[in-house]
Chain A
Amino acid sequence: MAYGEKVMDHYENPRNVGVLDKDAKNVGTGMVGAPACGDVMRLQIQVNDDGIIEEAKFKTYGCGSAIASSSLLTEWVKGKTLDEAALIKNTDIAEELALPPVKVHCSVLAEDAIKAAIQDIKDKA
């Protein structure tokens, strides 16, 4: 699989790799995918008192596109409100990274991850 420049950049220099305290009230965790399918994404977001996502971290088991999709997502969600972040579409990610059709499911997974993380925060409130 030959990847585009943007995927390679995120893959080789992934942004915001790490872990936030999943038990903190202002941290939402979204874990999506399945090991059997070859990709698992864990996205965490931390919201400040103004309802803005001030920190985002991820770890991903998966192919280059899955890693790049989640890395890009952490960049995009920072500074957004939960409602704004919920509007991120997989197609935006796929387009930005120029994912080939066979890899579009990686961007779908990233959309699922941010939705799950937002839901997690809402459930805690």
Chain B
Amino acid sequence: MSTPTYMDYSATTPVDKRVAEKMMKYLTMDGDFGNPASNSHYYGWQADDAVKKARKQVADLIGADPKEIVWTSGATESNNLAIKGIAHFYHKKGKRIITLKTEHKAVLDTCRQLEREGYEVDYLDPMPNGLLDLNVLKTAIREDTILVSIMHVNNEIGVIQDIEAIGNLCRQSKVFFHVDAAQSAGKVDINLSELPVDLMSFSAHKIYGPKGMGALYVQRKPRIRLEAQMHGGGHERGMRSGTLATHQIVGMGEAFAIAQAEMGEENIKIRALRDRLLAGFDGMEEVVINGDMDARIPGNLNISFNYVEGESLMMAINKIAVSSGSACTSSSLEPSYVLRALGLTDELAHSSIRFTIGRYTTEQDVDMAIDLVREKVQKLRDLSPLWDMFKEGIDISKIEWAAH
């Protein structure tokens, strides 16, 4: 069997070969394998140089100072460190946090944990297009609110929040602002020297770097303090202890440097492919795009094929690797909470497919996906009692179904 065509770049990306080649030079005896913290000998110095270079590469892509980068194991850890770190350090200022219902679980579940510790969290509803209404945020900020955490780009629907406007609001209200940028770095311009953002989380594996590697931007001027979550040798200015994984760090640095050099052109190419995919579905009935189409990263298309269940559609189109908001693809049997937060019916959430296009997607891939999806959606609709009812003009929302 030939392997399926990968169209799930928001889940993870392959490591760019140029990145992997760099990483391999920091592992073996003939490479720079040293501990960057060994400041007394050659091996340590070599590794430390590599880490310094990577720190600058990451900082350069996002307009930060290298000293503002804290290495972590990934965006999940960065989100934990940012949110718990602020909450614990500044708890005397207040114990209230604001976030969005469509955030990644790494943010939502961290907030849940803080609730168990006695903090209060406001989970804001996004607008139906997935974007945050600034007025809703404005009303939610209270005297005792210490932190707002809003993601830059949503992992499921790809919508881009206006973090500048949100950040300005936070600054006015003297509230810390954390942004989960796992899905935006390398896709959307980020200039932290101008953006009113205090903390920002990054991941390497979403932009062709290695898994298990991330970073947290912690603003220095004015200085943001965090309570460490990982204690030990005091690495990363005490904010995150643990021996630095040189090869992983070098990989993340290289990935960010490549993104900086190529993202302009790459975005144009990827957007053209995404638009080609969308145009390929023209004329299909009962197709709904989830999330705002304008404020959206180029590579994302989240689309519901009504009256077709997402998991069976994924099975039918298994020549392409995509993801679905269908309950059946999750262990919880709940449909996507992100799509539900947009106000989608459960049916539409069950019927959603997320295509995410990236660096190695070709026109042939897209054309193949279009033909496959069109054929299989038709096949499954021919099999669907709901499609029959729709065709007979029966409004299925008016029927009393027995939930099970």
Contacts and interface: CB of A to CB of B under 8 A. Distances in A.
Interface stretch (A37-45, A48-56, A73-81, A86-94): A37-45
Interface string B357-389: 000000000000000000000000011111110
A64 to B, nearest CB: 5
B333 interface: yes
Given A34-B402, A37-B346, A38-B309, A61 B327 contact: no
A81 to B, nearest CB: 26
A36 B309 contact: no
A74 B103 CA distance: 44
B328 A11 contact: no
Interface of A: 1, 3, 11, 14, 17, 19, 31-42, 59-64, 66-67, 102, 105, 108-109
Interface in B337-363: 345-347, 350
Contacts of B335: 38
B398 to A, nearest CB: 12
Contacts of A67: 312, 383
A14 B316 CA distance: 13
Contacts of B346: 35-38
B129 interface: no
7 contacts: A14-B383, A33-B402, A60-B384, A61-B309, A61-B383, A62-B309, A63-B315
Contacts of B404: 32-34, 37, 105, 108-109
B333, B335, B350 pick with most chain A CB within 10 angstroms: B350
Nearest to B307: A61
Interface of B: 307-309, 311-312, 315, 326-329, 331, 333, 335, 345-347, 350, 382-388, 396, 401-404
Contacts of A37: 327, 346, 401, 403-404
B345 A36 contact: yes
A63 B401 contact: no
A22 B149 CA distance: 54
Contacts of B307: 61
B401 A61 contact: no
A3 B327 CA distance: 16
A35 B312 contact: no
Contact of A34 (B333, B388, B401): B401
A1 B314 CA distance: 10
Contact of B385 (A1, A59, A64, A102): A59
B385 A60 contact: yes
Contacts of B331: 102
A17 B382 contact: yes
A17 B402 CA distance: 23
Q: Which 6 A-B pairs have the closest CB atoms?
A: A34-B401, A36-B346, A42-B385, A63-B328, A35-B347, A63-B311
B328, B382, B402, B403 pick with most chain A CB within 10 angstroms: B328
B328 A61 contact: no
A41 B333 contact: no
Contact of A38 (B328, B387, B388): B328
Contacts of A66: 309, 312
A63 B383 contact: no
Contacts of A36: 345-347, 401, 403
B311 A60 contact: no
Nearest to A106: B328
Given A1-B328, A35-B350, 7 more contacts: A1-B311, A32-B404, A34-B401, A36-B347, A62-B312, A64-B312, A67-B312
